[in-house]
Amino acid sequence: MNIKDNLKIITEHWGKINPLKIRDYIDVGGYEAIRKFIEKMKPEEAIEEIKKSGLVGRGGAGFSTGEKWEAVKKNKGEKYFICNLDESEPGTYKDRAIVDNNPHLLLEGIIISALAIDAKKAYIYINGRYIKQREILEKAVLEAASNKFIGKGIINSHYDLEIEIFSGAGAYICGEETALINSIEGKRGEPKFRPPYPTETGLWGKPTLVNNAETVSNIPWIIINGGKKYSEIGSAVSPGTKLYVLGGAVRNSGVFEGPTGMTIGAVIDKLGGGLKKGKELWFSQIGGSSGRLVLENELDNSLTFNKKSEIPLGSGAVFVFDKHSDIYDFLLSIAGFFRRESCGKCVPCREGTFRLYEITERMKDGEISERDKEAIKDILWTLNNTTFCPFGKFAAVAFLDAVEKLKILDL
Amino acid sequence: MEIKINGKKYKANEGDVILDVCRREGIRIPTLCNFPFEEGEFKKETICRLCLVEVNLTDKLVPSCAFPVCSSLEVTTESEKIKKAREINMELLWSDHAGKCVKCKKNRMCELQSLAEEYKIDNFHFIPRKEDLTNTEELDLLKDNKTRVVVEEENPAICRTTEFCIECRRCINVCPERKFGFNHRAGDVIVGTPYEKVLECSFCGECVRVCPVAALTDKNNFSEITEKLDDIKKIAVALVAEGMEEKIKKQLLIMGYQKEPREILKSLGFEKIFDFSEKDAQDEGLDDFKVQLSRKEKINMEDIILFYISSNISLKKEKIANLDYILSEREIARLARDKKII
Ligand SMILES: Cc1cc2nc3c(=O)[nH]c(=O)nc-3n(C[C@H](O)[C@H](O)[C@H](O)COP(=O)(O)O)c2cc1C
Ligand code: SF4
Ligand code: SF4
Ligand code: SF4
């Protein structure tokens, strides 16, 4: 940990400004990044800063944001920017918190991102259940437009941008960017085969940039303070701060900002205030329902978006389980989630998640047979190795760890 | 360009996918969702996950039906890992079908069944989950984790039942009128019409032709037909449309039989067999044939049972006067199979 431990990029003004008033945001220096971008920078320079910052996507995959911007920017013609606010993973609500506490920070990020790649239209794809957040955003968009940050000739420049808020129907798979694009186009919300990638052929067949809401919320800070400064925060492999969503047996539940690269132990102790009184740590799940399970002896692992890292940071959710938690309840809720949310397109996931749930039910009832044990091994293997999109892999993660680390079954 | 498959070099064209090369070279790769809808035209769904192979560019298994070739490509089509993937995914599909074959319309003509044989999927870990539920049973069975199936046999030409459907999407992709789609999601997915309405279309029959299982089949009253074919007091007459002999031959080959279609028709109980071309149909008309025949041969109209052997199942919609049945090549094969003459 370094001196920038307490640096807040996204949460700085949370609780101190009225999220429904653009004036409050402007008074604390809001929308200055747009001004700087428009008055002092070329889009290429902005992209260069983002590349220098080392910012990687907060949507889970950890792809370099600057490189993705560049890939879209180099294409000519009509383009789109989409802010991914689908966030449907149980226990993850950091993007929602951004909207609740400082919607204009998100909007400012969206506007700069869209303008930097020459998009004239941006979408906010919001989880259909985020009704209040949609209202907040609608109001924020109106206010930003009347302050000339959105619309034709943004703060009297040659830049134009229209922002549309699109509510999904609450399907988890629609957070996957190609499924999300299908959904906006009015098609069935299911992932598409890649290539072509959305950066080449995306929404309505045009080059499209999809970024997670948290990723986008880092942009204004980087534009104001420079990429180099950002790159010095947190871990070198995936710099910056991260919103951690804490829950379970920790003293403080909620959304907390800390640098990337914190150890799991530090997240639990420093941000979460340690365990609740009388609770004893069994294991934690890192990164949401699709995250790995970690035991006490793994708390020294530091959390980054590095592809090679053992424990990926994922959505940033850290859920702590007490010794007395019911592991079968937990696994059944995970199995139920993936069984319900599978889009049903490919065989291993559609059938596998169905069967996994079926067997987990028997496991919970203590009726698991040798035949089921064989089947579980096969299902987890095929989910992990043969599905069409990463959803299948996600569905297997917690089970694989429960078997290997928690030894719930003797396979 | 040249690529390596299983250690040997093969010629590949720019724009080919791995499966194209394997098909040309006779290298066996199982597929279910992939299907040549028109000559050479494949829609790449990549969803059955049976055609997965290994390549030197990634550790992951890749779908050969969509993975483009490139000059340094090395492909492995058989390995322990590939076998495992195919076996598990086959088993997941098969577990929903196991035990249903004996009574199935598509028995011995079913692509899933023959793949299950090829991959020796005989033991399965799961209980079939799709069941045609009646209202009273429904609640209990749903508790047992069963899913609902949709049966629709009210349209004039096609029997549809999702009990056998493996969600391969061939029908969705082949239909020129885009009648089908995916309803619901996850394990509850149902391939069918919007709001599960009765199918209304031109009945070109393409979907029945491409369905690998018994989810879409020709509609006919089979017990009535067999009865009439066996009835010695009746004269069964077959009008064989142009090109049907070839199609019947192919259909029989699926079951592994090489027989002359004429022979088959005779053994099925057809007393008179006529070729009937497009032109005949226009000149004489299907509706006039029985009248003429009865006059010429001095047989009572009622004693003639007239069959039109044709793939044109759209005629079933039209209810042509004096024509009793329309049988497709699939149904000829099915009759032959049921009568055990092949
Ligand atoms: C099953 C699945 C669900 C996903 N859900 C989300 C989501 O809810 N929000 C999100 O931002 N990204 C989600 N993603 C990742 C997106 O596909 C995409 O990578 C991301 O939005 C890109 O933004 P980033 O580069 O800023 O991370 C999901 C991916 C998969 C495979
Ligand atoms: S793995 Fe297959 S069924 Fe599952 S969500 Fe992805 S495409 Fe759909
Ligand atoms: S018969 Fe032809 S038109 Fe009708 S649903 Fe099948 S493919 Fe479509
Ligand atoms: S009805 Fe037949 S062709 Fe259509 S998806 Fe089902 S199995 Fe495939």
Q: Tens of pLDDT along B207-221?
A: 999 999 999 999 999
**Position B92 pLDDT exceeds 90:** yes
List the beta bridge partners of residue A258: A242
Would you state the torsion angle of the CA atoms of residues A213, A218, A219, A220, taken in this order, to the nearest 10 degrees? 110
Which of A172, A174, A345, A384 should one mutate to test binding to chain B, selecting the residue with the greatest count of B CBs within 10 A?
A345
Joined together, the tokens standing for residue B341 give: 């003459």
The answer to whether the CB of B324 falls within 8 A of the CB of B307 is yes
Question: What integer pLDDT is reported at residue B137 of this predicted model?
Answer: 57
Task: Count interface pairs A-B at CB distance under 8 A.
Answer: 102
Q: Find the largest Cα–Cα distance for chain B.
A: 75
Is the CB of A374 less than 8 angstroms away from the CB of B125?
yes
Q: How far apart are CA A21 and CA B181, in angstroms?
A: 46
Is the CB of A340 less than 8 angstroms away from the CB of B186?
yes
Higher pLDDT, B324 or A308: B324
List, chain by chain if needed, residues with CB within 6 Å of any ligand 2 atom.
A 173, 190-191, 342-346, 349-350, 387-389, 391-392
Question: What integer pLDDT is reported at residue A1 of this predicted model?
Answer: 43
Joined together, the tokens standing for residue A66 give: 């600057």
Q: Nearest C-alpha to atom 6 of ligand 3 is from which residue?
A: B207
Interface of B with A (CB under 8 A): 44, 46-50, 52, 60-61, 66, 81, 84-85, 88-89, 91-93, 95-96, 125-126, 129, 145, 166-167, 181-182, 184-189
Q: How far is A309 from chain B (nearest CA, A)?
A: 17
Q: Nearest C-alpha to atom 8 of ligand 4 is from which residue?
A: B168
Q: How many CB atoms lie within 10 A of CB A283?
A: 23
Spatial CA neighbour of B169 closest among B191, B148, B184, B147: B191
What does the pLDDT look like over B276-296, one tens digit per residue?
Answer: 988 887 777 888 899 999 999
> How close is the Cα of A212 to the center of ligand 1, in Å?
7
> How close is the Cα of B170 to the center of ligand 4, in Å?
6
Q: Which of A88, A173, A340 to mutate to test the pocket of ligand 2 (most atoms within 8 A of CB)?
A: A173
What does the pLDDT look like over B224-243, one tens digit per residue?
Answer: 999 999 999 999 999 999 99
Q: How far apart are CA A399 and CA A408, in angstroms?
A: 9
Is the CB of A350 less than 8 angstroms away from the CB of B186?
yes
Q: How far is A392 from chain B (nearest CA, A)?
A: 12
Question: What integer pLDDT is reported at residue A2 of this predicted model?
Answer: 45
Interface of A with B (CB under 8 A): 171, 188, 190, 193, 339-348, 350-355, 357-358, 361, 371-372, 374-375, 378-379, 381-382, 385-388
Q: For the domain with range A327-404, which CATH number is right: 1.10.357.10, 1.10.3720.10, 1.20.1440.230, 3.20.20.80? A: 1.20.1440.230
Amino acid at B118: E
Spatial CA neighbour of B129 closest among B88, B162, B171: B162
For B149, counting Cβ atoms within 10 Å of its Cβ (0-12 exposed, 13-18 middle, 19+ buried), the class is middle
- Which ligand is nearest the CA of A338, by number? 2
**Position B187 pLDDT exceeds 90:** no
B317 lines ligand 3 (CB under 6 A): no
Which of B32, B59, B80, B89 should one mutate to test binding to chain A, selecting the residue with the greatest count of A CBs within 10 A?
B89
Question: What integer pLDDT is reported at residue B123 of this predicted model?
Answer: 65
Identity of the residue in A339, A352, A361 whose CB atom sits nearest the CB atom of B92: A352
Q: What angle do CA A143, A144, A145 make, to 5 degrees?
A: 90
**A22-231 — its CATH code?**
3.40.50.11540
Which of B19, B47, B93 should one mutate to test binding to chain A, selecting the residue with the greatest count of A CBs within 10 A?
B47
List, chain by chain if needed, residues with CB within 6 Å of any ligand 4 atom.
B 165-171, 191, 210-213, 215-216
For B26, counting Cβ atoms within 10 Å of its Cβ (0-12 exposed, 13-18 middle, 19+ buried), the class is exposed
Q: Which top CATH class is A241-322?
A: alpha beta
Q: Which of B32, B169, B182 to mutate to test the pocket of ligand 4 (most atoms within 8 A of CB)?
A: B169
Q: Nearest C-alpha to atom 8 of ligand 3 is from which residue?
A: B175
Q: Nearest C-alpha to atom 5 of ligand 3 is from which residue?
A: B179
Is the CB of B186 less than 8 angstroms away from the CB of A339?
yes
Q: How far apart are CA A179 and CA A190, in angstroms?
A: 4
B201 lines ligand 3 (CB under 6 A): yes
Mean pLDDT for B263-272 is 95
Ranges of each domain in chain A: 22-231, 241-322, 327-404
Q: Provide, as residue numbers in chain B, all residues whose Cβ is less than 8 Å from the Cβ of A368.
A: none
- The 3-class SS string of chain B reads CEEEECCEEEECCCCCEHHHHHHHHCCCCCCCCCCEEECCEECCCCCCCCCEEEECCEEEEEECCCCECCCCCEEECCCHHHHHHHHHHHHHHHCCCCCCCCCCCCCCCCHHHHHHHHCCCCCCCCCCCEECCCHHHHHHHHHCCCEECCEECCCCCEEEECCCCCCCCHHHHHCCCCCCEEECCHHHCEEECHHHCCCCCCCCCHHHHHCCCCCEEECCCHHHHHHHHHCCCCEEEEEEECCHHHHHHHHHHHCCCCCCHHHHHHHHCCCEEEEECHHHHHHCCHHHHHHHHHHHHCCCHHHEEEEEECCCCCHHHHCCCCCCEEECHHHHHHHHHHCCCC
> How close is the Cα of B174 to the center of ligand 3, in Å?
8
**Res. B342 pLDDT band, cuts 50 70 90:** low
Identity of the residue in A355, A374, A388 whose CB atom sits nearest the CB atom of B47: A388
Is the CB of B47 less than 8 angstroms away from the CB of A339?
no
Joined together, the tokens standing for residue A121 give: 């239209």
- Whole-model pTM: value is 0.94
Q: How far is B254 from chain A (nearest CA, A)?
A: 25
Identity of the residue in A346, A371, A382 whose CB atom sits nearest the CB atom of B125: A371
Question: What integer pLDDT is reported at residue A370 of this predicted model?
Answer: 87
Q: Give me Rg for the CA atoms of chain A.
A: 21
Task: Pick the atom of ligand 1 nearest to A87's CA.
Answer: 8
Q: Which of B155, B165, B207 to mutate to test the pocket of ligand 3 (most atoms within 8 A of CB)?
A: B207
Q: Provide, as residue numbers in chain A, all residues whose Cβ is less than 8 Å from the Cβ of B44.
A: 193
Instruction: Give the mean pLDDT per block of 10 residues along chain A (411 residues).
Output: 71 97 98 98 98 96 95 97 96 97 98 98 97 98 98 97 95 97 96 95 98 98 98 95 97 97 96 96 96 96 90 94 96 96 97 94 89 92 98 97 92 73
Q: How far apart are CA A125 and CA A167, in angstroms?
A: 6
Beta strands B235-241; B304-309: pairing state: parallel
> How close is the Cα of A57 to the center of ligand 1, in Å?
9
Mean pLDDT for B244-271 is 94
Nearest CA in chain A to B142: A358
Mean pLDDT for B62-81 is 96
Task: Pick the atom of ligand 1 nearest to A213's CA.
Answer: 11
Q: Nearest C-alpha to atom 3 of ligand 4 is from which residue?
A: B211
Q: How far apart are CA B246 and CA B238, in angstroms?
A: 16
Task: Pick the atom of ligand 1 nearest to A127's CA.
Answer: 8
Helix (H), strand (E) at residue A176: none
Question: What integer pLDDT is reported at residue B130 of this predicted model?
Answer: 78
Long-range contacts of A21-25 (CB under 8 A, 24+ apart): A21/A143, A22/A104, A22/A140, A22/A143, A22/A144, A22/A147, A25/A102, A25/A104, A25/A105
Beta-carbon-side half-sphere exposure of residue A237 (alpha carbons within 13 Å):
13
Q: Which of B162, B171, B209 to mutate to test the pocket of ligand 4 (most atoms within 8 A of CB)?
A: B171
Q: Which of B115, B191, B218 to mutate to test the pocket of ligand 4 (most atoms within 8 A of CB)?
A: B191
**Position B308 pLDDT exceeds 50:** yes
pLDDT averaged over chain B? 91
Q: What is the DSSP code (8-state) at residue A154?
A: G
Question: What integer pLDDT is reported at residue B35 of this predicted model?
Answer: 83
